[in-house]
C-alpha cells in the first residue's frame, strides 16, 4: 500500500543495438522518513537520475575544493563518454577537466603521483574493464603506498566509472570488478544503487583521504529516483562502510549492490505475494563490508541469499556467505544461497546474455529454496 | 663494446609557433603539425626541426672520451662543490658495500639491489636539486635516497626491517619513501615510477597554474634501460611533452636488465633518440663521469624549472655488482666489467680534482674516514633498533582507518583501543 509506481523512460546505451527491456519497471520504496503523510504523490520530492546525481556531486565537490580535478578519456569536450561530466569543462576549464590520451596505465599513474602531493584527482575509466590496464597503479602505487611509506604518503584519489554488464557489449566490456578490488587492503570500494547513494557516496569518496574505487553501473545512469532535500544539499554525504536496509523483512535476507538491488526489490515484491517477507540490504560499500548489518539481519531472518552480477568464484557473495557462516552459524536455518553471474565470459546474443546474468526469477527461486519451498534448480554453472 | 656517438640536442630558443587554444590543460602549446616527416635525421643537419615543429640546434661533442679537452669544455666547479660530490659518491659506495656485507651476514634479506658503479648519475643529478624537488626511483633506490638527504641510519634501519627505518620497516629495500625529502619511491615494478613521477610534475604545474602558488618544483624520474621498452615509458613521454611538465627522465643505461642484454631486448638501442619523436630533447652523456652528468643535469633541470618541459637524458653507466645480491652474474663478460671498472666514477673524480688542485689528498682521506664512521654508526643504530611492535601491523593501511569498517558492536573498528593489539583478523 505504501507504494509509488514510477516508470523509467530513458536508458542510454552507447552501443544502441539491444532494445529489449532488461530492467522493465522497477518499484522504488520511499524510505518512511521522507514519505509524505498523505497518500497523494507529493511534488516536494524531486526526482533525479543517477547521471545527474553524479554530475551534481562532481560539480559541487570541484567547486568546494580547487584541488579536486577530473581526468579521463572524453571527460571534457565530449562531455563524458556517458555524459556524467556534462558541463564541467565549460565551468572549470581544461586545467581541471582533463581529456587524456588513451593511456590508462600512464594517466592513472599520473593521477596517483598528483595525489601523493595532495591534489585530489578523480580518474575516470570509460569502463572498469579498461582499469585492468592500470590495475598496477591502483593496487601497487595507490592502495599500498600509505602502508609502505608508514603513513607518510596518503593517496586521496577516486577511481570511478561504469562496472559490470551493460547490454550487448560482449565479453571484454562486461566484467564486474567488485570482488577483485574489494580483496585488496588499502582500498575502499563503493557501489551505489540509487541517486541518493550516487551523490552521497561519491561525495564521501572525493573527500576521503584514501584511494576509493567507485563502481557505477551504466544501466542505472538513466534511472530516476526520488531524492529528499537533504540529499540535494551540497554538504550531503553517506558514511563509507555502512549498508542500507532498503526494505525490511523477517523471513529471508537478500544482500545486493548496484543494479542487483533493483532486481532484489522486485523479487521481494513477488515473494511478498507468496507470503515470504524479504529484507533487502543495499551493501553500498563492498570494502569495508558492513558485516554488522548483514549479520544482524541474518540473525533476525535466519536465511541468506546473496546476489551479485559478477563471476561466482571468489565473488562478493562468497565473502558474505563465509562471514555469515563464521559469525552467525547458530542462527542459520538453511544453507546460505549465492546468486551470481554465470561462470562464462559474457556472450553477445541477447538470449544468452540474459542467461548469463541473474534475473529476478533467479533471486525469487533462491529465496524460496532458502525458505524450504520446493523449486526446481536451474542450471548450476 | 662500442661507445655511442655522443650528441647533444638542445632547442636553440623558446618555441616559436602558433598557440592554438586546445583542450590540453595549462594552455600548453599543442604539438603543431609535422613540418617534416618523422624520419628526419637529427644527427647530420646543423639546423633541423623536431617532429613538433620546434627548431633545434645540433651540437656534436665527443663527451664519451676522457680526454683532457673535455675538462675545459665543462664549467669549472668550486672546491666546495668538488668535496660535496666526492662525499656523496663515497657515501653511496660505502653504504652499498656495507649492505652486501650485512646481507651475507643475514641482517638484510629479501631483494636487495645495489648501485655500485652508478654513483655519478645519482650524485650528478640529485645534488643539484632543492629540498622541495622530487625524486622517483626504482628498486635500486638506496643511493637515490642518500643523495636526496635521507639519513644513512634511517635507510640502514629500514633495510634491517626495524621500526626506526624511514618507512618504519614497512617498505624495505625496494620501497624507500620520505615525505620530508620528497623521495616518493622506491617502486618494484619497472616503469611504475615513471607515471607517478609524471604525476608529481603535474601537481607542481597544477599548483602554479590553478592554485596560483609559487611553485617551480622539478621532478626527476630514474629508471633503467629495460624500462625503456615498456609501454608506460612511452605513454609518459607523450603526456609530459603534451602538457609540458617540469620533469627530467633519466635513463640509467647499465646495459643489462638482470641477465638480458640491452642489445638483445631493444630494436634501436639508442635510448636518447626516443625523446625527439615525442618532441622532447634527447641527450646522451657518459654516466661514469659525474662532472659531465652534472653539466647535462643543470641544463635539463633549468629547462624544466623554466617551464620549457621535459628532457630525456640517457646516462651510459654500469653496475659493478649483479642485478641483486641473489644474482650470480654469470652472463656478463669479465672484460666488459674490467673496462668499466677502470672508469670508476669515484676514481675519475678523484683524479680530476687532484690534478686541478681543487682539493688536497688529505681532505679526500678525511672524507673517506668520515663516511666509514658514518656507515658504521648507521649499522650500529640499525642493529640496536627494535623490530616493529605487533600493533604496527594494522597501522597505516589507511589514512582514515575507518576504512577497516564497522565492528559487530556497531562502532568503527579503529575506535576500539585494542584494535591493533589483536590478531590480523579484522
Per-residue DSSP letter, B147: H
Average pLDDT over residues A305-319: 97
pLDDT score recorded for residue A379: 53
Size of interface A-B (CB pairs under 8 A): 198
**Cα-based distances in Å from A364 to A218, A251, A294, B210:** 24, 13, 19, 53
Could you write out the DSSP letters of every residue in B3-23? PPPPEEEEESSS--S-----S
**CA–CA–CA angle B63, B66, B70 (5° rounding):** 55
Helical packing angle, A316-328 and A291-301, nearest 10°: 60
**Which run of H or E residues covers position B250?**
strand B247-253
Residue of A nearest to B424 (CA): A185
B197 in Cβ contact with B221 (< 8 Å): yes
**Which run of H or E residues covers position B89?**
helix B79-104
B42 in Cβ contact with B282 (< 8 Å): no
The nearest CA of chain A is from the CA of B296 a distance in Å of 25
Helical packing angle, B79-104 and B152-160, nearest 10°: 20
pLDDT score recorded for residue B21: 38
A358, three cell numbers: 541473474
Q: How many CB atoms lie within 10 A of CB B408?
A: 11
Annotation marks residue A319 as catalytic: no
Cα diameter, chain A? 61
CB within 8 Å: A327 and B408 = yes
Q: Where are the alpha helices (DSSP H) in A74-194?
A: 88-92, 104-116, 135-136, 145-148, 178-182
Distance CA B323, CA B218 (A): 29
Q: Burial, A61: exposed, middle or buried (Cβ in 10 Å; 0-12, 13-18, 19+)?
A: buried
B386, three cell numbers: 627494535
Kindly provide the b/e burial profile for residues B209-219, where b requires at least 16 CB atoms within 10 angstroms of the residue's own CB.
Answer: bbeeeebbbbb
Cα diameter, chain B? 77
Q: For chain A, what is the mean pLDDT?
A: 89
pLDDT score recorded for residue B426: 45
CATH of span B77-263+282-384: 3.40.50.970
Q: Which residue in A108, A79, A73 sits closest to A91, CA to CA? A: A79
Each residue of A238-279: pLDDT tens digit? 999 999 999 999 999 999 999 999 999 999 999 999 999 999
Q: How many CB atoms lie within 10 A of CB A160?
A: 25
Distance CA B209, CA B302 (A): 19
CB within 8 Å: B231 and A105 = yes
Cβ–Cβ contact B185 with A under 8 A: yes
Q: Which of A104, A124, A223, A337 is catalytic?
A: A104
**CA–CA–CA angle B295, B299, B302 (5° rounding):** 130
Domain boundaries, chain B: 77-263+282-384, 400-426
pLDDT score recorded for residue A45: 84
Work out whether strand B219-224 and strand A68-72 pair parallel, antiparallel, or are unpaired: unpaired
Which residues are bridge partners to B256 per DSSP?
B261
The model's confidence at residue A376, banded by pLDDT at 50, 70 and 90, is: low
Q: What is the pLDDT along chain B (426 residues), one digit of tens a residue?
A: 333 333 444 443 333 333 333 444 553 333 333 223 333 333 333 334 444 444 333 333 333 333 333 344 455 789 999 999 999 999 999 999 999 999 999 999 899 999 999 999 999 999 999 999 999 999 999 999 999 999 999 999 999 999 999 999 999 999 999 999 999 989 999 999 999 999 999 999 999 999 999 999 999 999 999 999 999 999 999 999 999 999 999 999 999 999 899 999 999 999 999 999 999 999 999 999 999 999 999 999 999 999 999 999 999 999 999 999 988 888 899 999 999 999 999 999 999 999 999 999 999 999 999 999 999 999 999 999 999 998 888 888 999 888 888 887 888 888 887 777 654 444
CB within 8 Å: A150 and B175 = no
A66 chain-B contacts, CB cut-off 8 A: 210-211
**Cα-based distances in Å from A221 to A46, A69, A129, A169, B146:** 17, 21, 18, 16, 51
Query: How much of chain B is in helix, strand and coil states, percent to nearest 5?
Result: 40, 10, 45
Distance CA B170, CA B167 (A): 6
Annotation marks residue A104 as catalytic: yes
Which residues are bridge partners to A190 per DSSP?
A214, A285
**CA–CA–CA angle A209, A191, A185 (5° rounding):** 50
CB within 8 Å: B199 and A66 = no
The model's confidence at residue A236, banded by pLDDT at 50, 70 and 90, is: very high
The nearest CA of chain B is from the CA of A104 a distance in Å of 9
- Global pTM reads 0.82
pLDDT score recorded for residue B407: 82
Average pLDDT over residues A287-302: 96
Q: Burial, B333: exposed, middle or buried (Cβ in 10 Å; 0-12, 13-18, 19+)?
A: exposed
Task: Examine the pLDDT at A59 and tell me if it is beyond 50.
Answer: yes
Distance CA A108, CA B273 (A): 26
CB within 8 Å: B238 and A103 = yes
Amino acid at each position: 500500500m505504501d507504494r509509488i509506481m514510477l516508470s523509467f523512460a530513458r536508458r542510454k546505451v552507447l552501443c544502441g543495438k539491444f532494445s529489449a527491456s532488461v530492467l522493465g519497471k522497477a518499484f522504488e520504496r520511499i524510505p518512511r522518513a521522507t514519505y509524505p503523510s498523505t497518500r497523494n504523490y507529493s511534488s516536494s520530492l524531486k526526482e533525479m537520475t543517477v547521471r545527474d546525481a553524479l554530475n551534481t556531486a562532481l560539480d559541487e565537490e570541484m567547486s568546494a575544493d580547487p584541488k579536486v580535478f577530473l581526468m579521463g578519456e572524453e571527460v571534457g569536450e565530449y562531455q563524458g563518454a556517458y555524459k556524467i561530466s556534462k558541463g564541467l569543462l565549460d565551468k572549470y576549464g581544461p586545467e581541471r577537466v582533463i581529456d587524456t590520451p588513451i593511456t590508462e596505465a600512464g594517466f592513472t599513474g599520473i593521477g596517483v603521483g598528483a595525489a601523493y602531493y595532495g591534489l585530489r584527482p578523480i580518474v575516470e575509466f570509460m569502463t572498469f574493464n579498461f582499469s585492468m590496464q592500470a590495475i598496477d597503479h591502483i593496487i601497487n602505487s595507490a592502495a599500498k603506498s600509505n602502508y609502505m611509506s608508514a603513513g607518510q604518503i596518503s593517496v586521496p584519489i577516486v577511481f570511478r566509472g561504469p562496472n559490470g554488464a551493460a547490454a550487448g557489449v560482449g565479453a571484454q566490456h562486461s566484467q564486474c570488478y567488485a570482488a577483485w578490488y574489494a580483496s585488496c587492503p588499502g582500498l575502499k570500494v563503493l557501489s551505489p544503487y540509487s541517486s541518493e547513494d550516487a551523490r552521497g557516496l561519491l561525495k564521501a569518496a572525493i573527500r576521503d583521504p584514501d584511494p576509493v574505487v567507485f563502481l557505477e553501473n551504466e544501466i542505472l545512469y538513466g534511472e530516476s529516483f526520488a531524492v529528499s532535500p537533504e540529499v540535494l544539499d551540497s554538504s550531503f554525504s553517506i558514511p563509507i562502510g555502512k549498508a542500507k536496509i532498503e526494505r525490511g523483512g523477517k523471513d529471508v535476507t537478500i544482500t545486493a549492490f548496484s543494479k542487483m538491488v533493483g532486481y532484489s526489490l522486485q523479487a521481494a515484491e513477488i515473494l511478498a505475494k507468496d507470503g515470504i517477507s524479504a529484507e533487502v540490504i543495499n551493501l553500498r560499500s563492498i570494502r569495508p563490508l558492513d558485516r554488522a548489518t548483514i549479520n544482524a539481519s541474518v540473525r533476525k531472518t535466519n536465511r541468506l541469499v546473496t546476489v551479485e552480477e559478477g563471476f561466482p568464484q571468489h565473488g562478493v557473495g562468497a565473502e558474505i556467505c563465509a562471514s555469515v557462516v563464521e559469525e552467525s552459524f547458530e542462527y542459520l536455518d538453511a544453507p546460505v544461497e549465492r546468486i551470481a553471474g554465470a561462470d562464462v565470459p559474457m556472450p553477445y546474443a541477447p538470449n544468452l546474455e540474459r542467461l548469463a546474468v541473474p534475473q529476478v526469477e533467479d533471486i525469487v527461486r533462491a529465496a524460496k529454496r532458502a525458505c524450504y519451498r520446493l523449486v526446481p534448480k536451474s542450471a548450476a554453472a | 663494446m662500442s661507445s655511442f656517438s655522443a650528441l647533444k640536442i638542445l632547442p636553440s630558443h623558446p618555441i616559436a609557433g602558433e598557440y592554438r587554444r586546445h583542450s590540453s590543460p595549462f594552455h600548453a602549446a599543442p604539438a603543431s603539425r609535422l613540418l617534416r616527416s618523422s624520419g628526419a635525421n637529427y644527427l647530420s643537419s646543423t639546423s633541423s626541426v623536431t617532429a613538433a615543429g620546434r627548431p633545434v640546434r645540433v651540437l656534436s661533442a665527443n663527451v664519451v672520451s676522457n680526454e683532457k679537452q673535455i675538462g675545459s669544455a665543462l664549467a669549472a666547479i668550486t672546491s666546495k662543490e668538488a668535496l660535496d660530490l666526492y662525499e656523496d659518491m663515497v657515501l653511496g659506495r660505502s653504504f652499498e658495500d656495507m649492505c652486501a656485507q650485512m646481507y651475507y651476514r643475514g641482517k638484510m634479506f629479501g631483494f636487495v639491489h645495489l648501485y655500485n658503479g652508478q654513483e655519478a648519475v645519482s650524485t650528478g643529478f640529485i645534488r643539484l636539486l632543492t629540498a622541495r624537488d622530487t625524486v622517483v626511483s626504482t628498486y635500486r633506490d638506496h643511493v637515490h635516497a642518500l643523495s636526496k638527504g635521507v639519513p644513512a641510519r634511517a635507510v640502514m634501519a629500514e633495510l634491517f626491517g626495524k621500526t626506526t627505518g624511514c618507512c618504519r620497516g614497512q617498505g624495505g629495500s625496494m620501497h624507500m619513501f620520505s615525505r620530508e625529502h620528497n623521495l616518493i619511491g622506491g617502486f618494484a615494478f619497472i616503469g611504475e615510477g615513471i607515471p607517478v613521477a609524471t604525476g608529481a610534475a603535474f601537481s607542481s604545474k597544477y599548483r602554479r597554474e590553478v592554485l596560483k602558488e609559487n611553485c617551480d618544483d622539478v621532478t626527476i624520474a630514474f629508471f633503467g634501460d629495460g624500462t625503456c621498452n615498456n609501454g608506460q615509458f612511452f605513454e609518459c613521454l607523450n603526456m609530459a611533452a603534451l602538457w609540458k611538465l617540469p620533469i627530467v627522465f633519466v635513463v640509467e643505461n647499465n646495459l643489462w636488465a638482470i641477465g638480458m642484454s640491452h642489445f638483445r631486448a631493444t630494436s634501436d638501442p639508442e635510448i636518447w633518440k626516443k625523446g625527439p619523436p615525442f618532441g622532447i630533447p634527447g641527450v646522451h652523456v657518459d654516466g661514469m663521469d659525474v662532472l659531465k652528468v652534472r653539466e647535462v643535469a643543470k641544463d635539463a633541470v633549468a629547462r624544466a624549472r623554466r617551464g620549457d618541459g621535459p628532457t630525456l637524458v640517457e646516462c651510459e653507466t654500469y653496475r659493478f655488482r649483479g642485478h641483486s645480491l641473489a644474482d650470480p652474474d654469470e652472463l656478463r663478460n669479465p672484460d666488459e666489467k674490467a673496462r668499466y671498472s677502470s672508469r670508476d666514477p669515484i676514481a675519475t673524480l678523484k683524479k680530476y680534482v687532484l690534478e686541478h688542485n681543487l682539493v688536497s689528498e688529505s681532505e679526500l682521506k678525511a672524507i673517506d674516514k668520515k663516511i666509514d664512521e658514518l656507515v658504521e654508526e648507521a649499522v650500529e643504530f640499525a642493529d640496536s633498533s627494535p623490530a616493529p611492535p605487533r600493533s604496527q601491523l594494522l597501522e597505516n593501511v589507511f589514512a582514515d582507518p575507518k576504512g577497516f569498517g564497522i565492528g559487530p558492536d556497531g562502532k568503527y573498528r579503529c575506535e576500539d583501543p585494542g584494535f591493533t593489539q589483536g590478531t590480523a583478523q579484522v
